Amino acid sequence: MVNDLTGVFRSSFATLRCPLRYLIVMTLLVVGMVPIRCLNAAESKRPVPLIFDTDICGDCDDVLALGMIHALQTRGACRLLAVTVSADHELAAPFVDAVNTFYGRGKVPIGVVGAGGVVSDSRYLALADVRDGGRQRFPHQLASGKSAPGATSVLRAALASQPDGSVVVVQVGFATNLARLLDSLPDEHSPLSGEELVRKKVKRLSLMAGAFQTIEGNAHYLEYNVVKDVPSCRALASRWPTPMEWSGFEVGIALPYPAVSIERDFGYVTHHPLAEAYVRYIPPPHNRPTWDLTSVLQGVYPDRGYFDLSPPGSVVVEPDGFTRFTPDPAGRHRYLILRPEQAPRVLEALVQLASQPPSGAVSPPARPDDPGAARSASP
C-alpha cells in the first residue's frame, strides 16, 4: 500500500500544474481510504455467528455454557444461530427451549440427534416438565424432542444462511451430529454436500474433547465425549475441513466453577434454570469443572489471550477413543493450553458470563460483603 501511494504521489507531482489540483488528488486519496478502514473495523466488531452442539443431558457444564452464549449475545459478541443436541433424550430439546426462552430467545432453532444417537439419562432435564400452580416453571414451546427437527437439517439450514467463512461451531458433546453433517447430501437448504458446506461456511470448530496431558497419572486417558461415540469422533478428526481447537479434559478440570456463585449470583429470580440444573446434578457445596464453558470462551474470544494454543498438528482418535496429537506445521488442529497465571482471569470471565442476567432482568441489591457484585462490562 505504501509503495502504491508513493507512486501516485510522484505521478501527481509530475503531472499536476497547480496546488489546487494537487489538493484535490490528496483529498480523494484520503477519503477513499477511510471507508476501507471503517469497513475493517466494522468487520472486527460483527457478532460471531455461532452454532452450539451439545449433549445437554449428563453434566451441568453444558447448561452453564448455554447461559454463557446468551450473555455473550447480549454483549454483542456472538449470535446464536442454532442449538443441536447430540444425546438422545426426549426432554433435552424442551430443556434447551426453556433455557433459550428464559434468556428471551425462544425462537432459536433446535435440532435433535434422533435414532442412533447416544442414549443418556439426566438428573436435571425434568426441569422442563416442572409446573408451579399448573404453569410451567420455565416456559417453552417444545413439549418433546420427538417434535423437533433432525440436527442435520438444522445445521445445514443454519450454515447455508450465513456468509462464507463466518460461522464458529462449538461442540461440547458427542461428535454424532457433526459427523452426520459431513456425510449429508445436497438438500433444499444447499446444493453442496455436507463437507463442501462446512468448508465454505465454517471459520473454526471449537470443541471439548480428548485429553492432551496426563490425567491423575494416566497418560492414556479416555475422555467421555470421545468414547461415547468413537466412530463419529474419528471421522470428525480426520475429515473436518476447517481449523479445530480442542479443549482437553485437563483444561476444564483446572477451572472449577465456584459453588458460591450458584448460591449467590442467580438470585435475581425465584427460579433460575442454570442454578437449578447445577443443584440437581450435584448439590453444592461442590465446584464443578468448566469443561464446556472453555470451548465457548475460546470459540467467541480466540484472540483475547485466555488460553495459549499448541503448535499446529493433527489429532488422531485411536480405536479405543484415545486422542493422540502429532505436531505438523500443515496441520489444522491445535489444543488449548492453560498456564497457571491465566487461570484466575479465565475463571472470572466464565463466572461473570454464566451468571449474567438476561437483558432487562433486575438484580437484587448487592450484599455489602460481596466483592464480586460489580460485574465488568467485558471480561
| pLDDT tens digits along 264-313 | 999 999 999 999 999 999 998 999 999 999 999 999 999 999 999 999 99
Is there a contact between 171 and 299 (Cβ–Cβ < 8 Å)?
A: no
Confidence at 376, pLDDT banded by 50, 70, 90: very low
Residues 96-121 have pLDDT tens digits of: 999 999 999 999 999 999 999 999 99
Residue ranges per structural domain of the chain: 49-354
Residues 215-272 have pLDDT tens digits of: 999 999 999 999 999 999 999 999 999 999 999 999 999 999 999 999 999 999 999 9
Grid cell 435414532 is found at 115
Query: What pLDDT, on a 0 to 100 scale, did the predictor assign at position 45?
Result: 77
Biggest distance spanned by C-alpha atoms of the chain: 86
Query: What pLDDT, on a 0 to 100 scale, did the predictor assign at position 359?
Result: 86
Residues 46-103 have pLDDT tens digits of: 999 999 999 999 999 999 999 999 999 999 999 999 999 999 999 999 999 999 999 9
Is there a contact between 92 and 128 (Cβ–Cβ < 8 Å)?
A: no
Domain 49-354 sits in which CATH superfamily? Answer: Ribonucleoside hydrolase-like (3.90.245.10)
